[in-house]
Each structure stands twice: as structure tokens, then as C-alpha cells.
A and B are shown apart, each in its own frame.
Chain A
Amino acid sequence: MTETLEILKAYNGTGYYGMLFIASLLYLYFTEEDTHTKKILVIVPTVIQILFLIPYFYMIYNKLDEGTYYRLLWLLPTTLVIAYTACKIIDTHTRLGVIVMAVILALSGTIVYAGSNVSIAENEYNLPDEVIELADMVKPDEGRERVWAAFPPLLVHYVRQYTTDIMLPFGRDSLVDHWNAPMNPLFDLYMEPTMDAAKLSEYATKYYCNYVIVEKSKKVIGDIEANNFEYVGETANYTVYQNMLVPFWDDTDEVVNFYSFTDELYGTGNTSEE
């Protein structure tokens, strides 16, 4: 019961919509005249809430889909019921009622556009301009094969939404702890507060990275350009280097197994070509 209550509490977060919903259900229970509407908008949500709180039900659900129990609360017609009840309460006092109720509803929640992950779009892709700038520097020219590039972990979510011609030695899966992505020393190096230039060269070469992108604010031990990298360009916060030890996909006649490192990354069986 404690776990389900915790999930319910987290779902309702900083607002009062959970309480308004319960109050609305009670109001409709006593005032709604249409029996069918009452069954669908009051009784069904009540049954869902009771089920939600049953620990055995939680255990069964978790076996089917762990970590998404909050989605059961999506089945509650919260918005529909609160808005319907609000309209019934204001009755014929339209002007004043609408204003008062609108203020109550607004103050009970949190505006979505003020969220920390919401901002004005910088371009039509709705991706950070800087990521597009960086991707344009490293993406293969027309008619060329794809390239491997190591991007700082903060940017890996965005790069391949712009172009899949850039392949990454580590992606979002490395960032999420409980997904158990295989060990990746290059990722670990990027996560450290300081970066050893010699190690960057070693790992970037091992992972066949044609390019590495390094944060300007990152403290680097040693000189990156003295470790087989060539400066390509920079943006406000990042510098792009080309790894001179790794040939481009279609620039080499040598039989190079570009996927050899995938055994280390993902175990055997994932080494076939795309």
C-alpha cells in the first residue's frame, strides 16, 4: 500500500488536481441525474482507484511492465470530470463563475510552458542549434558513407534525431543506469570531470571514432592536438577534432572490422553489418 500511495503522491506532484478530482467525484455522485453518465464518470473511476491501491494488483502489474504503474492513473478521466463538475457548480453565474473557477483551476496546477525542459524552438527540428552546428561539421559529405563520432553525453539524445549518418560509440542507453548498457571506457572518460588526452586518443581509436567533440569547459590533461587529433572547428561550448588514426569508412582498402568493438560493447552476435 505504501508503494502505491507513493506513486499516487508522485503522480499528483505539486498540484491539487488529485484532490479536485476526488471532490468532483463526490459532487457528481450526489448530483448527477443521468445514471449512465454517473456509472461511466463516477463509478468506473472509483473502481480504477480502488484497484490501483490494492498491493496484489500492483505486484501483478509490475510483473507485466515494471516501473510504469503510474500509467494506470491515465485511465482516470480527471480533466473531463473536473471540467464537467466546474461547469455544473457555476450554474447560471456565467461571467463571475468562469473567472473564479478559471483562477482556482489555474492556481491548483503548474503551467506547462514554464517547465525547465520547455523553451522557444531554435529551429524547425526543435533541436538545439549548437547540436546541428556540430553535426554539420562532422556529418559525411554527399555520396560518402557514415562516420563515427563521440559526442559529450549531454548531446547524445539529439544528434541522431538530426541525421543518422552519424553513428555514436555510446548513446542514451549508457546514460540510464538501470538499462545496464555494457561497460564503455570512452563513455566513462567523458563522464569524468577531467579528460586525459592520451586516453581519449586510445579509446576513440579503439572505437573507430573519426571525430570527437569535447566540451570547452572540460579540464583536459595533456594536449589533444599532440595526440593524433586535428582541430576541425568549434561552437560556443564545444570543440571538434578529427581523429587522424582512424580512416573514413570508404577511404580504406584495408580489411578493417569496423564492428570489432561491438563484441566488447554488446557481446557476440551483434557484429553484422547494417
Chain B
Amino acid sequence: MIVTGGTKGLGKAIALSFALEGAWVGVNYSSDDESGSRTEAELKGLATKSLLLKADVSIGSDVEMMIGRVLDEWEYVDILVNNAGIIRDKLLMFLDEKDWDRVVEVNLKGTYLCSRAIIKTMIARRFGRIINITSPSALTGRAGQTNYSASKGGIISFTKSLSKEMARLGITVNAVCPGIVSTPMIEDLDQETKSNLLNMIPMGRFGEPEDIAWAVLFLASEKAGYITGQVLAADGGLT
């Protein structure tokens, strides 16, 4: 399996969860070599086989090289998790073209490029799981995130359309929508902001990265073979 943006945060939790289940895990990252090496070391202790894959998912040639390398080493890939994502939050009035483009390029175009590069090997084996990470921002909107929510909303529409193309070929395409996940960024917020956020979550707690990873694992499993084109929200009831 390959998880993009897999050396930090949610992507890393997903990668480690798959490693624990016995999967061969390829983790992609774009620039932070230090977190790349750390995750690589952790994976070596857990996964039967692992690969650290440096590539910018918004660049077609980078993606083709990355997928090519994995196929050279492992022959095929059954599971792709399109997790790589960035934010450049600004109110629309102040949102310049550069920040719009970069967010859409990494989040949405990256999902398209990685999916396109992987489907041939999945079609050849008549089996595949593509799981795209979206956001509550795509479902409910959020001030300051027009670029991010548009990219994540695009991912949902992309998921639904690609699922129709792939359904007959044994490949499922779904999305997972994480809620507000406990990350250092959330932990650093002041108490008032944190309790405001917590009040929005019916379950009264932030999600743990593992909560989301379990949803991804389920959609990747054989048991989820009849589920495609869906958005599974693992968000404590937030949406």
C-alpha cells in the first residue's frame, strides 16, 4: 500500500496501522527529510517491507517516478491512500492566487495524479482500494478555507465519479472524512478555543489519529468490497 503525506500526523498513523496489519507500506512525503527518516525507522521495525518515497504529488513526473519505483520493487500495489494535503487559510478577500493554486494542486490534483498512476496495476489484477482523505470543511464549509474546502469537496466528487469508472473492475474508491483530530496544532490552542471546538463534537472528545486509521483500514479490507463511492466520516458525530 502507499499513503501519500505518510510521514507525519494522520498519514503516519495510517501507515503504521497498515504495517501492524502486515501490509507492505510505502510512505510518501515531499520535503521534510527528518520526519521521513523517523517514520522510515519506525516502519522498519513494524512492516514486513517498507519504502520511503520522496515526491511532490502535484507534479506528474514525480508521481510517475514514485509509482514506477514501487512497482519495480513490489510488482503491484493494491491500496492507495491519498492523504497528502496542505492548508493556506485566509479569508477570500485576502486569498491570493498562489495560495489558491497551491492548495488545489497538492490536495486535489495530487489525488488525481496518484490515482491515475496507480489504476493500471489495479485494473490488471482486478482488485484495488483507493481511499481519499477529505475534511469536514468540504461538507459544512469553514470561513478562511475556501481554497481548502473547495479542494476537499472536489475530492469527494472525484471519489464518486472514479468509483463509477472502477466499480466493474474490482476497484473500490471511497473517502474518509476525519473530524477534529488531536494533533500538536490542536493541543497548542488556548483553553477557550479548545472547549469551543469540543462543544461542536457530540462525542465530546477530539479524534485520535488511530480513530481515522481504523476507518481507512476497514475500507481497505476485503469485507468492505461492496462499498464504493462513499464518504465515511470518522468524526465523533461532528458532521
Instruction: Verify that A and B bind, or say they do not.
Output: no
Write the residues of chain A forming the contact surface with B, with a CB cutoff of 8 angstroms: none
Could you tell me which B residues sit within 8 Å of A by CB distance? Answer: none
